[in-house]
Structure 1
Amino acid sequence: MHLSLPFRFIPTLVVATAVALAAVTVSSQSQQPWSLEQEARALLASGWWSGYTNHLCEWPGITCNTAGSITEISLPPDFQLGDDGNFGKFNFSCFPNIVRLRLRASGLKGSIPSEIGTLSKLKHLDLSYNQITGYIPSSLWNLKNLVTLQLSANRLTAPIPATIGRLTSLKSLSLEWNQINGSIPFELGDLNNLEHLDFSVNSLTGSIPPSLSHLLKLKALNLSMNKISGVIPHELSQLTQLQYLVLSSNQISGNIIPEIGSLFNLFVLDLSSNSVIGSIPTDLGNCSKLQLLLLSRNFLTGSIPARIGYLSALTSIDLSHNSLRGKAPSELGSLRNSLEYLDLSHNKLTGTIPPSFNLLHRVRQLNLSYNSLKGHIPTDLQLLFPPDAFVGGNNDLCGDPIGLPSCSLTRSSSKNLELVKILVPGILLAFLILGYFVFPRCLLLWKNKSSGVTKNGDLFSIWNFDGKIAYKDITKATEDFDMKYCIGSGAYGRVYRAQLPSGKVVALKKLHHWEAEEPVLFKSFKNEARMLSKIRHRNIVKLHGFCLHRRCMFLVYEYKERGSLFSVLGNDVEAAVLDWTKRLHIIEGVAHALSYMHHNCTLPIIHRSVSSSNILLNSDMVASLSDFGTARLLYPHSRNRTVLAGTPGYIAPELAHTFAVTEKCDVYGFGVLTLEIIMGRYPGELLSLISASSSQSSKSPSLLQITLEDVLDPRLSPPSNRQTASGVVLVTTLALACLRTKPKSRPAMEQVTKELLVRRPQLPKPLDSISLQELTNQEIYQVEKKQENRV
């Protein structure tokens, strides 16, 4: 943990004498000795550097030029200001050469002194994430050399004055998360070097001034969560460098400007939660770099332009809660390599769900409910998403899973389907038994997708019983399971890599001869085959088939190139490739898999062995849950008692004194796994602290002293992207909730997945200022809610 050590304090007289001597020493080499001494005295008078006796240029956060004059004050994250962060004692006029002043998240209180206007050489000012109140002093607008101005996440009030137009050198202006009111000044258009403008989460009123179109270098414009009204100015189409246009949660009316297609560099378009009318412009299809298209909760009409389906970079589309009509464009299926979020719910869409939607295997959240859709739900979508993604308003949709209306079948077809559902499990079990005790050669069951379509458009899976050919292919591919094809060992048996004649690569988990004779291992083997033949999910490893015979027992899996998450985290080189975004996706994938097993299967399935060793990664670092040897079904109205099973260190504490297993056992394992992914190692010591804090007062000193940044994997730099940092905070908060001692107080995995899909506002303070105690009590989100209620 990166906890700062306490400083040794010495009498003030000694400190003052040492500083004065240091200043005199430096000043003898300077052309302006009085200014150096003045700087030293000003720093000492502020009370922020009490206890330091070495030369002022060696004090933490202080940078000097060759003459010894201070050019930069950038306090480190763990630096604690003295005198309760009093801002009024800092004498700005004593620093004529300062270029950068960064007092971010330093606990500053009070108002910004007007003397700040004397820093004529200042280029970078960052006072964000403090408790600064009052007005922005008018003298600040005289700092014509300012390049970046960051005052976000404070308690500043009053309108933005027209004199802001004097800061013509400004490239970045951040005033978000304050209480600033009034309108956006027209003079803002004079800042022709501006690239980043963020006024979000304030109380701004009035309309968007057309003068913003003069900011031809602007790349990011965020005015969300204000009270801005009026229409979107057509002139904004001139901002061809714009990458982020976020105007959500305002009172904006009128149409989406048809010239929106001229914003070729746009990454994010967020107009959600406004009063926008009209249709979605077809020319939006020209924005080839668009990744997020968020237009929900407006009054949009017309159809969804088919050209949106050709925006190959799109990851999220939210058009929900509008009045869109027509068919869902089949072209959206073309986004199979990028799209992760699709919400078309609460509209007036008609027709059938396009079969091309079957291709959207990367989509993590899909919602088509509350429309007027009809017909059969594509089979893959039924397997990947719960019924509530479709039902509700769509009264004429039908499908096979429980929770969906059955599709209209003839009486004979219906009977045959029911007969198949009854007989297939029994037939499979019979073949298992016959294969083990009777058949002289191995029986392999191989699952393939039929290329045919039935009368009603239902795609069926066909089980082929041509075991002889498949078995020969596998033994030939592995040279009769030669050790050179072995890629690891599981809980039981070895794992082999095999390339079949078709070119397909698979993984084989093969029992040793002596293991096949062990009843417990044989039962586990059969259990894994049984469980994986029942379920299918994009984040659960696919079982292609299995072979069952006394002399040869193996499972045939989808091959995962990167191996286990445990191995990746244990390798410094591979762990560095696993950046924060990939880690968040892994956590989300595992959460979705467990939620599917717990809440979307006919009978809930619990894994009982959630751990980093049982998470497999493909070449794109997409996670799949594996090793279902200890998994079991939960039967309603049953105690569901069982023997202790699972991976040590991930087993829920209640199983130490009870054998009643529930879904909350998996939830606990997910919490441990999430912390392990965030920390880059097994969180043993932290789990002990969490357990100890739960039996003490809610303000446990140990968790209060540990910040989130203290526990992040040191092999990665802390997340700098705002959205990624917010994601890290969210998953850590959810992990701590999953680790609660009482099972009933842990969230269900369904709740966890819903939380992961909610876009949260920017964090009110940086990671190095967020304690684990705040996350345990979810105080960080209480701060966000207070901010939201203020708007």
Structure 2
Amino acid sequence: MSFNKFYGEISTNWGSCMRISDLRIAGNNITGSLPPEIGNATQLGAIDLSFNGLIDAIPREFGNLTSLVNLNLSKNQLFGKISPKIVLLPGLQKLDLSRNRLSMSIPQTIRLSSKLIHLDCINNQLRQDIPRQLGMLTHLSELDLSRNLLSDEISAQFNKLENLAKINLSHNNLSGLIYETFKDMQGLMEVDISHNKFEGLIPNTTAFQNETKEAFEGNNGLCGNIGGLEPYISSNNILLDSEYKAHVFDFGTAKLLKLDTSNWIAVISTYGYVAPEIAYTIKVMEKCDVYSFGMVAIEVIRGRYPGVSISSLLAPVGMEISVAFRNILDSRLPTPTSGIEDKLADHLQACSRLLIY
């Protein structure tokens, strides 16, 4: 009866049809609430009421449909929470609740839908975190939780979703290190984690490396060899601030160069740290990163960006080293002992020479 011009509300009499196996009335003008009596038709294997105007909550009585394999209630106006009973059906393989107004959290009882292959909840108002129990659905192949209000980090339990081929978590408030979450998902073919708060290195798996930058945009803390992201970041580019929080210092041109050849790239560096000649040429050489390293090293010693006063870092001959350091060292730190002071002076002189290398 799908995709016709039926209208009105669903009759409660469907609950008396004890031998009915399929109920498909998608793509009509059906309105009103879902009758709880449908939960009495325990032989139902498939329900498709998508593309209608159904309202109200999904009756918890649907949890009595122990023979249900496919439940599609997408593209309606259903609201309220997802009843824990609905997602503990042992034979359920496909659950599509997308494009409704469902809220609250994803029930932890979803772990009992052990045969679930397809879960689609896109464009609802689901909140809180993604329950770690979802990572117990080892048969799950497609997962779409995009365009919700989900937050917090994703449990390490997700690494057990070995059969997951397609995942979309875009347009949420999810956070955490993306590498730890997805590093073991070797079967992934499609991924979209855009517009969240993920951080860290992009996993070096086929799905992640083949995606375009649109699949990752909107996450300010991501890095990796993806077009549009900072491609050459490694642990050598990470510095800690006074609270031991990691920051990326992007030298921009850090890469291995083939000797005895010309290497040309576009300027992708952080201005103020890149060698001045990069502003006039796109030829890459070892001097580029030498200059950048010197700038960052001096910033560590001074506690602030060196700015245009690089020449002042070189103490005039005959000047007491303690006098020179008075205007150079980070004033927030204790005055170094004489032994440390001498070593810092040597380092500062060496770093300053790097800037005119």
TM-score range, shorter chain: 0.5 to 0.7
Deviation at 1:425, TM superposition (A): 11
Within-5 A mapping of 1:563-578: none
Q: Is the 8 A contact 1:351 1:372 kept in 2?
A: yes
Return the match for 1:231 from 41, 44, 57.
57
Deviation at 1:382, TM superposition (A): 4.4
Letter in 2 for 1:265: G
Q: Is the 8 A contact 1:285 1:310 kept in 2?
A: yes
Within-5 A mapping of 1:617-656: none
Q: Distance in 2 between matches of 1:371 and 1:410?
A: 22
Q: Is the 8 A contact 2:82 2:106 kept in 1?
A: yes
Letter in 1 for 2:209: L
Residue 122 of structure 2 aligns with which residue? 296
Residue 66 of structure 2 aligns with which residue? 240
Cα shift readout 1:592-617 (whole Å, capped 9, x = no counterpart): xxxxxxxxxxxxxxxxxxxxxxxxxx
Q: Distance in 1 between matches of 2:59 and 2:260?
A: 63
Deviation at 1:307, TM superposition (A): 1.4
Within-5 A mapping of 1:330-341: 330-336=156-162, 338-341=163-166
Deviation at 1:334, TM superposition (A): 1.5
Residue 307 of structure 1 aligns with which residue? 133
Cα shift readout 1:638-682 (whole Å, capped 9, x = no counterpart): xxxxxxxxxxxxxxxxxxxxxxxxxxxxxxxxxxxxxxxxxxxxx
CA RMSD in angstroms comes to 2.3
C-alpha spacing 1:426/1:247, structure 2 compared with 1 (3 Å): farther
C-alpha spacing 1:425/1:367, structure 2 compared with 1 (3 Å): farther
Q: Match of 1:257, SS?
A: coil
Deviation at 1:417, TM superposition (A): 6.9
Within-5 A mapping of 1:534-553: none
Residue 230 of structure 2 aligns with which residue? 405
TM-score by length of 2: 0.65
Deviation at 1:384, TM superposition (A): 3.1
Residue 47 of structure 2 aligns with which residue? 221
Within-5 A mapping of 1:590-601: none
Q: Is the 8 A contact 2:101 2:125 kept in 1?
A: yes
Cα shift readout 1:40-86 (whole Å, capped 9, x = no counterpart): xxxxxxxxxxxxxxxxxxxxxxxxxxxxxxxxxxxxxxxxxxxxxxx
Q: Does 1:263 align with 2:99?
A: no
Residue 363 of structure 1 aligns with which residue? 188
Q: Distance in 1 between matches of 2:183 and 2:88?
A: 32
Q: Is the 8 A contact 1:330 1:354 kept in 2?
A: no
Q: Distance in 1 between matches of 2:56 and 2:118?
A: 24
Q: Match of 2:167, SS?
A: strand
Q: Does 1:396 align with 2:221?
A: yes
Deviation at 1:362, TM superposition (A): 2.4
C-alpha spacing 1:236/1:419, structure 2 compared with 1 (3 Å): closer
Q: Is the 8 A contact 2:179 2:200 kept in 1?
A: no
Q: Distance in 2 between matches of 1:425 and 1:194?
A: 77
Percent of paired sites with the same residue: 33
Q: Distance in 2 between matches of 1:425 and 1:204?
A: 73
Deviation at 1:323, TM superposition (A): 0.1
Q: Is the 8 A contact 2:212 2:227 kept in 1?
A: no
Q: Distance in 1 between matches of 2:26 and 2:226?
A: 44
Within-5 A mapping of 1:331-480: 331-336=157-162, 338-380=163-205, 382-391=208-217, 393-406=218-231, 407=233, 409=237, 418-420=254-256, 422-423=257-258
Cα shift readout 1:437-457 (whole Å, capped 9, x = no counterpart): xxxxxxxxxxxxxxxxxxxxx
Q: Is the 8 A contact 2:150 2:173 kept in 1?
A: yes
C-alpha spacing 1:398/1:293, structure 2 compared with 1 (3 Å): same
Letter in 1 for 2:204: T
C-alpha spacing 1:185/1:377, structure 2 compared with 1 (3 Å): same
Q: Distance in 2 between matches of 1:410 and 1:189?
A: 63
Q: Distance in 1 between matches of 2:170 and 2:260?
A: 36
C-alpha spacing 1:320/1:364, structure 2 compared with 1 (3 Å): same
Q: Distance in 2 between matches of 1:202 and 1:415?
A: 59
Letter in 2 for 1:210: P
Q: Is the 8 A contact 1:240 1:262 kept in 2?
A: no
Deviation at 1:416, TM superposition (A): 10
Q: Does 1:250 align with 2:76?
A: yes
Within-5 A mapping of 1:441-520: none
Deviation at 1:350, TM superposition (A): 1.3
Deviation at 1:386, TM superposition (A): 2.0
Q: Is the 8 A contact 2:97 2:120 kept in 1?
A: yes
Q: Distance in 1 between matches of 2:188 and 2:221?
A: 24
Cα shift readout 1:182-239 (whole Å, capped 9, x = no counterpart): 0001111111111111001111000100110110111101100000011100111011
Residue 280 of structure 1 aligns with which residue? 106
Q: Match of 2:30, SS?
A: strand
Residue 178 of structure 1 aligns with which residue? 4
Residue 316 of structure 1 aligns with which residue? 142
Q: Match of 1:374, SS?
A: strand
Q: Match of 2:81, SS?
A: coil
Q: Distance in 1 between matches of 2:142 and 2:69?
A: 16
C-alpha spacing 1:178/1:423, structure 2 compared with 1 (3 Å): same
Q: Match of 2:174, SS?
A: strand
Deviation at 1:424, TM superposition (A): 8.2
Cα shift readout 1:110-148 (whole Å, capped 9, x = no counterpart): xxxxxxxxxxxxxxxxxxxxxxxxxxxxxxxxxxxxxxx
Q: Is the 8 A contact 2:155 2:181 kept in 1?
A: no
Q: Is the 8 A contact 1:206 1:228 kept in 2?
A: yes
Letter in 2 for 1:346: H
C-alpha spacing 1:194/1:403, structure 2 compared with 1 (3 Å): same
Letter in 2 for 1:204: I
Within-5 A mapping of 1:51-70: none
Instruction: Find the structure with the greater CA-based Rg.
Output: 1
Deviation at 1:361, TM superposition (A): 2.8
Q: Distance in 1 between matches of 2:9 and 2:127?
A: 30
Where do 5+ consecutive residues of structure 2 fail to align?
240-248, 263-357
Deviation at 1:364, TM superposition (A): 2.1
Where do 5+ consecutive residues of structure 1 fail to align?
1-174, 428-791
Cα shift readout 1:676-702 (whole Å, capped 9, x = no counterpart): xxxxxxxxxxxxxxxxxxxxxxxxxxx
C-alpha spacing 1:396/1:183, structure 2 compared with 1 (3 Å): same
Q: Is the 8 A contact 1:342 1:367 kept in 2?
A: yes
Deviation at 1:261, TM superposition (A): 3.8
Return the match for 1:209 from 35, 42, 48.
35
Within-5 A mapping of 1:634-713: none
Q: Is the 8 A contact 1:328 1:354 kept in 2?
A: no
Within-5 A mapping of 1:62-211: 175-211=1-37
Letter in 1 for 2:31: T
Structure with greater helix share of residues: 1
Deviation at 1:266, TM superposition (A): 0.2
Residue 267 of structure 2 aligns with which residue? none
Cα shift readout 1:551-591 (whole Å, capped 9, x = no counterpart): xxxxxxxxxxxxxxxxxxxxxxxxxxxxxxxxxxxxxxxxx
Higher relative contact order (CA 8 A, sep 6+): 2
Q: Distance in 2 between matches of 1:417 and 1:330?
A: 34
Q: Match of 1:326, SS?
A: strand
Q: Distance in 1 between matches of 2:258 and 2:198?
A: 33
| Equivalent pairs, count | 249
Q: Is the 8 A contact 2:67 2:91 kept in 1?
A: yes
C-alpha spacing 1:266/1:246, structure 2 compared with 1 (3 Å): same
Letter in 2 for 1:282: Q
Residue 302 of structure 2 aligns with which residue? none
Q: Distance in 2 between matches of 1:290 and 1:184?
A: 27
Q: Distance in 2 between matches of 1:251 and 1:425?
A: 66
